[in-house]
Every structure is written in C-alpha cells, then in structure tokens.
Amino acid sequence: MKKNGKAKSIVVLAILLVALIAFGYVSLFGIGDTATGAAENISLGLDLAGGVSITYEAKDSKVSQEDMDDTVYKLQKRAETYSTEAEVYQEGDRRINIEIPGVSDANAVLEELGTPGSLYFLRSVDGESEVVMQGSDIVSAEAMVTRDEKTSATSYVVQLKLTDEAAKRFGEVTAESIGQQIAIIYDDELISSPTVQQAITDGSPSITNIGSYEEAEELASYIRIGGLSLELEEVRSQVVSAKLGVEAIEKSIQAGIVGILLVIIMMCIVYLIPGLVSGIGLLLYTLMMLLILNAFDITLTIAGIAGIILSIGMGVDANVIIFARIKEEIAAGNSVKASIREGYRKAFSAILDGNVTTLIAAIILMWRGYGSIRGFAQTLAIGIVLSMFVSLVVSRFVINALYALGVTDAKFYGKAKIRKPFDFVGKRFIAMAISIAVILVGAGFFIGNGVAGNRVLNFSLEFLGGTSTTVTFDEEMSVDRVEKEVVPVVEDITGDGNIQTQIVQSSGNKEVIIKTRELDLEERTALDEALAENFDIDESMIQAENISSTVSNEMRAQAVIAVVAAVICMLIYIALRFKDIRFGASAVIGLCHDVLIVICAYAIFRIPVGNTFVACLLTIVGYCINSTIVIFDRIRENMNTKGTFKDRRELVNTSITQCISRSIFTFASTFIMVAAIYINGVTAIREFAAPLMVGLVAGLFSSNCLTSPIWYMLKRDKSKKN
C-alpha cells in the first residue's frame, strides 16, 4: 500500500508538471489570434528592438580629445543605469550620441538624465565666492534613504564620492567651514546650499535634510550630469528602430525552435525514455527562462542569446552525463531503479563542478564587465541555475514518475557499450601538432592581412568607429526593406558587410541612419551618388559624420580585467576541488587553445570583430571548461579505484574513452542549435554563429585530445614509469 501510494503521488505530481508547462505556454504566448503574453514584454536591446537616440554637442568650440573621451565614458556609465546595453559614442569633433534600448519616450529620458551643464561648489570667503570643487571632482552621486535606529525616522540624502585629490582639498575646506553653507551651482543657478556640520576627510560627503526621495534623486541627477569634463547642450532626440528587422528576428526564433526540437529528437533516439525526459526538461527550461527575463526586466541582445545557448548546452550536457551513467549502471547488471539512483549520484559532482566553475566566471563578468558582456553574463548565470534545477531536480522527478507508471524494462533506458580504451595519451603529440598547424595558419593570415595593408582582424564599428550616414528618403521605409534594398547598395561601395542601419521613427520612418566603417571622401561621394541614383533622392538629403567606437579604451581594459579575473578564479576553483593545481593549469591551456583557434577563424574568414566577438569567446570558454571538468571528474573518480589500472596512462585513456560518447552528444546538441541559427539567420546572426561553431569543434578536440593528456604530462613522475 505504501509503495502504491507513493506511485500515485508521483503520477499526480507528473500531471501537475504537465499542467504547469501548458499554463506556461498560455501565459507566455496566449492562444489563437489574440495571442499575447509575457514573451512580448521581454526587454530587447538596440539590435533587436531599437530605442531612443539623444545627441549632445560641446558648448566650447574647441575641445580636447581627452575631454571628449572622458565625457563619453562617464555618460556611458550613466546611460547604463537605464539599460546595460546602452551605447554612447562620439560623432564628429564635438558631438556625443547616447542610444538607450527599449525606450520610446525621448523627453522622459531627457528629464531624468538632464542637460549636462557646469557644476560648482562655492563657499563665501571675505564676501567673495571661492570655488571649492567642480563637477569633474565627483566620481558618483546617489540618492539614498536612511533610517534612524533610535527613532525609526526616515530621511533622504545624496551620497557623494570624490576623487582622491578632491577629497583631500574638501577635507581641508570643511574643517575651516563648520557651520557655514556651501552653495551648489548648476548652470549658474543655485540648486542646493547644505551646511557643513563637521570636517569631511573620507571623500564621501552626504547632503542631508532633503524633503523627499524624488528631490534627492533630482539633486543627484544634476550633480552626476554636471560632473562631466565638458558642458554639453542637446542637439536632437529621436526614436530609432531596431538594427535587425522583424523578419530577421522571426527567422532566428524559428531557427532556435527548430534547433531545440532537433536536439529533443536526437536525445530520444539515443537515450530513449531518459531522452524524452530531457526534452520535457528542455521545454520547461525555455519557459522558465522567458518568464525570468520578463519578470526581472533583463535586456536581451544577441550577446544575451549566446549566454542562453551556452546554458542550454550545459543543461543538455548535464542530462547526457546522468543518462550515460544510468546506461553504465544497467550494463553493470544493476536494476533500473538502482541504476537511476546511482546515475544521478555519480553524475552530481561533475555537473556541480562544471556549472559552478562557469557560474563563478559569470558573476565576475557581471561585476566587472560592460554592456553586452554584462548582458551575456546575466543570461548565462540565470541559465546555469535553471539548467541545474531542471537537470538535477525536475528530470529526476519525471524519470522516477515514469518508472512508477510501469516503464521499468531496462530496454527503455539503454545499456552502455564497453569500449576498448583509445590511446589518447599516446597520440597526444599528433593532436598537439594538428593544433599548432591550425594556429600557425591563422598566424599566417594575421601577417598576410597586415602586409596587405589591412588590420590583422576585421574590427567592427563597436571597436573602431566609422562613418554615420543619415539619408532622408521620399517615402516611408521599413527595417526589412532597408536590409533588402539599401544595405546591398552600401555593401557594393564599402566592400564590407559590417553595416548597421536604424530608422528614425520620429521622422515618419523616412530618415535612415547607416553606420559603416570609416569612409574616405571618394567613398562618401560614391555612396551619395549610388543612393541618389537607386532611390531617386537629392544628394542634399544625405549627410555623413565620422563616429567613434562604442567600446572605449576604459571599457576594453575593464573587459580584459574581467575575463582574466574570471579565468584565474576558475583555475583556483578547479585546483581546490581536484586538490591538484595541474588540473587547473591544463584546463587553462585548453581554454587558451580554443580561444586562439576562434581568433584564427576571425582572421582567416575576416569575420567582423564586435561585441558578439567577446560573447563568442566567453561562450567557448564556458563550453570548454565544462567539457574538460567532466573528464577530470571521471579521472578523479577512477583514481580512487585502486588496483583497477596498471598505470596513469591507462587511467587517463580509460577515463576519456568512458566520457567520449557524452562529449560527442553534447557537442552535437549544441552544434545543431547554433547551425540552425546560422542557416536561417541574417548577416549579423551568422557573424556570431560561424565562429561559435568553429569554437565548438575546437572545444570538442581540446577537451578530449589535449587537456587530459597535458595533465598526464604535468603529473608524470620522472622517477617512475607511468
């Protein structure tokens, strides 16, 4: 009775799970012609949804490039408070553009952001005002709510942080000015006059006695925007369309759906009932991811999609590890029930280590990364947590429910084939030679590109800047029409597919912004003539300006630091978990190998290097480290079975061979998804998917043929034969 009761409860829970999936689909997409749902409310980046574009111009007719760069960087940080995917770049000599995705009201942004102006802190000395600080002395200004511990009274303050030099000066001034007021002047108007209550020497003064949080936020906004190196004035504000058309987005979504279905079919064929369980889990994962993106208002871009693809791959990988273990247990003669239990138990450590290692990297990238890197890290971190939950909890629950329903025959779960260990260690030098040869070919293209007068890598607009051409057409334009009719004309002139287009919706969809690599005078003239001829417009309706990169030097340095810190932390975690620094060292060598191979692909095929480049490399790093750890976990497990292997060479070869089917099926499932996106995608999507496929192949090769044999070489005791 007890067993029957348990079985019935499992069946009831399984029915509830199916109901949850059905409810999720209805909630997300609705039913029939009136289909609407949470999926439509997911925040999308500029590449997928468009937003607001605001242009400022320096009031001073002569400005230094250093001040322009500093102002662009600070505005980037402020714009990121609206969206991590906001872009800020220089246009011409004195203008700065801010593009914020997912916003349709430019006036609302302008009111909150404010018009950048001059900011001074003044005190009165012998009847004259003395400048204590300028806006550029302030690092940050934030509105805060504080509560008195004794009275529980709420108060509102603006917390400032000063530069080191300003902090020293402000400490001296406040020590001399206790009881006096310091006036804060913005654009020649008094906006606050706080009284100095004590000497402030820590560089973190706070402005108190503010009436409401709204007033505190407004004051903080004035101080933030006034803390720029330049005084700016608004030139224009406009609503712009997505960089990718509706058709392109729909094709990508359709490709993703096809990819997921193909993965589910493959899993069902290979793993039978467990494969069906994996399919249910994958559908549930997709629904939960969409719901979370909507609930937490996370901006989704192509880079974010990369994080989702990686987490899906890791989720499938976790299921493959579990199901392969179940098949091994059945092959060893255990019952199906015992095999299910042991399969999950033995797979746990590999799944945990692989996911935690990647999660550590994601957290560091969220902390130290910028824009698209942060968006990638957010979706990756969420995806990792969800995939672990689905793989370790949901799939276990479903497979036990099916067993309780009577699916108990071992033939429905499969039986692992005993394979003779392949001599991976013995073939290590051949594998290394292949890798070195590929990297040398890539290096040859690096040199060849330089000799030909080109850049070694085809850096895109995000890294190099370029030319922005604004065209006013005589009729309304759509994003899809621009992609099909206008972009080919531009490509003929530039000889480069690295083109970004946006429609200015506030112009009645007649004005189109075309961003290309930097064009010289001859190319600009040729482009003007081609556009005028093909679309019957006057050349006076075409204007062009050079624009800076959207990724500043500070942001590049920030990204490098974030990636290096992530790799170091992964190395430390692996060393601690496996109690051997050589595991971590060989894993990092594998990472470097895969990154180099992908960079070689960018050089050989001249794939544009933009924000998706960083996301692609990070995806490959996450995929490689996860695949490598699975094999390391098997080596660690086999090391504890004393007397089974005659030497370390046999240990490594056997461990890799035991994991080879997992490696192949995980690679195949991820590759299928990326390939589907590549086949159906437009140029921007393909430029992301193509190097990703190269990296997946490199990761499959390195994790099986390089990292473990390298560990064997590092581990080998020269005084003994191993």
Q: CA-CA distance, 477 to 630, in Å (whole number)?
A: 51
425-434, 490-499, 555-564: segment of lowest average pLDDT: 555-564
User: Is residue 27 predicted with pLDDT exceeding 60?
Assistant: no
Predicted confidence at residue 1, as pLDDT, reads: 43
CA–chain centroid gap for 651, Å, is: 38
Predicted confidence at residue 241, as pLDDT, reads: 65
466-547 is a CATH 3.30.70.3400 domain: yes
Residue type at 326? I
Higher-confidence residue of 205 and 111: namely 205
- In the chain, list all ranges with CATH 3.30.1360.200: 119-227
Q: Which of the four pLDDT bands, split at 50, 70 and 90, describes residue 569?
A: confident
Taking the C-alpha atoms of 275, 278, 280 and 282 in order, what is their torsion angle to the nearest 10 degrees? Answer: -140
Predicted confidence at residue 598, as pLDDT, reads: 92
Q: Which of the four pLDDT bands, split at 50, 70 and 90, describes residue 652?
A: very high
Higher-confidence residue of 437 and 402: namely 437
Q: Which of the four pLDDT bands, split at 50, 70 and 90, describes residue 441?
A: very high
Q: CA-CA distance, 409 to 65, in Å (whole number)?
A: 73
Q: CA-CA distance, 511 to 402, in Å (whole number)?
A: 59
Given a contact cutoff of 8 angstroms between Cβ atoms, the answer to whether 373 and 359 are in contact is no
Q: Which of the four pLDDT bands, split at 50, 70 and 90, describes residue 718?
A: very low
Residue type at 270? V
Q: CA-CA distance, 576 to 580, in Å (whole number)?
A: 7
Helix (H) or strand (E) holding 147: strand 138-147
User: Is residue 609 predicted with pLDDT exceeding 60?
Assistant: yes
Q: How many CA atoms lie within 13 A of 281 on its CB side?
A: 33
The string of pLDDT tens digits covering residues 413-423 is 888 888 889 99
Given a contact cutoff of 8 angstroms between Cβ atoms, the answer to whether 116 and 230 are in contact is yes
The string of pLDDT tens digits covering residues 169-186 is 888 888 888 888 888 888
Residue from 616, 467, 613, 622 nearest 551 by CA: 613
Three-class secondary structure of residue 512 per DSSP: strand
Q: Which of the four pLDDT bands, split at 50, 70 and 90, describes residue 342?
A: very high
Predicted confidence at residue 425, as pLDDT, reads: 93
Mean pLDDT, rounded, for 576-594:
87
User: Is residue 111 predicted with pLDDT exceeding 80?
Assistant: no
User: Is residue 458 predicted with pLDDT exceeding 50?
Assistant: yes
- In the chain, list all ranges with CATH 3.30.70.3400: 51-114+235-240, 466-547
Q: CA-CA distance, 722 to 710, in Å (whole number)?
A: 14
Higher-confidence residue of 521 and 116: namely 521
Q: Which of the four pLDDT bands, split at 50, 70 and 90, describes residue 599?
A: very high
- The token duo for 79 is 């714009």
Predicted confidence at residue 721, as pLDDT, reads: 47
Higher-confidence residue of 657 and 126: namely 657
Predicted confidence at residue 384, as pLDDT, reads: 86
Mean pLDDT, rounded, for 472-490:
88
Q: Which of the four pLDDT bands, split at 50, 70 and 90, describes residue 712?
A: very high
The string of pLDDT tens digits covering residues 128-144 is 788 888 877 888 888 88
Predicted confidence at residue 36, as pLDDT, reads: 45
Q: Which of the four pLDDT bands, split at 50, 70 and 90, describes residue 360?
A: confident
CATH class, domain 119-227, is: alpha beta
Predicted confidence at residue 339, as pLDDT, reads: 93
Mean pLDDT, rounded, for 461-488:
86
User: Is residue 114 predicted with pLDDT exceeding 60?
Assistant: no
Higher-confidence residue of 341 and 78: namely 341
Residue 579: count of CB within 10 angstroms of its CB: 8
Q: Which of the four pLDDT bands, split at 50, 70 and 90, describes residue 338?
A: very high
Q: CA-CA distance, 691 to 93, in Å (whole number)?
A: 35
User: Is residue 548 predicted with pLDDT exceeding 90?
Assistant: no
Residue from 116, 51, 40 nearest 83 by CA: 51
The third-level CATH classification (topology) of the domain covering 51-114+235-240 is Alpha-Beta Plaits (3.30.70)
Q: Classify residue 418 as exposed, middle or buried by CB count within 10 Å of its CB (0-12, 13-18, 19+).
A: exposed
Predicted confidence at residue 33, as pLDDT, reads: 42
Q: Classify residue 630 as exposed, middle or buried by CB count within 10 Å of its CB (0-12, 13-18, 19+).
A: buried
Higher-confidence residue of 424 and 621: namely 424
Q: Which of the four pLDDT bands, split at 50, 70 and 90, describes residue 340?
A: very high
Predicted confidence at residue 45, as pLDDT, reads: 63
Q: Which of the four pLDDT bands, split at 50, 70 and 90, describes residue 498?
A: confident
Residues with Cβ within 8 Å of residue 75, at least 6 apart in sequence: 88, 96, 98, 116, 228
Q: Which of the four pLDDT bands, split at 50, 70 and 90, describes residue 230?
A: confident
Mean pLDDT, rounded, for 112-138:
77
Predicted confidence at residue 31, as pLDDT, reads: 43
Q: Which of the four pLDDT bands, split at 50, 70 and 90, describes residue 610?
A: confident
User: Is residue 719 predicted with pLDDT exceeding 70?
Assistant: no
Q: Which of the four pLDDT bands, split at 50, 70 and 90, describes residue 597?
A: very high
- For residues 585-601, one letter each, b for 16 or more C-beta atoms within 10 angstroms of the residue's C-beta and e for the rest, the string is bbbbbbbebbbbbbbbb
The mean of the pLDDT values for the chain is: 81
Percentage of the chain beyond pLDDT 90 is 14
User: Is residue 407 predicted with pLDDT exceeding 70?
Assistant: yes
Residue with tokens 């995917």: 85
The string of pLDDT tens digits covering residues 372-396 is 677 778 888 888 888 889 889 888 9
Higher-confidence residue of 413 and 646: namely 413
Q: CA-CA distance, 146 to 153, in Å (whole number)?
A: 8
* Distances 112 to 43, 78, 79, 200, 222 between C-alpha atoms, Å: 20, 11, 11, 29, 9
Mean pLDDT, rounded, for 69-82:
76
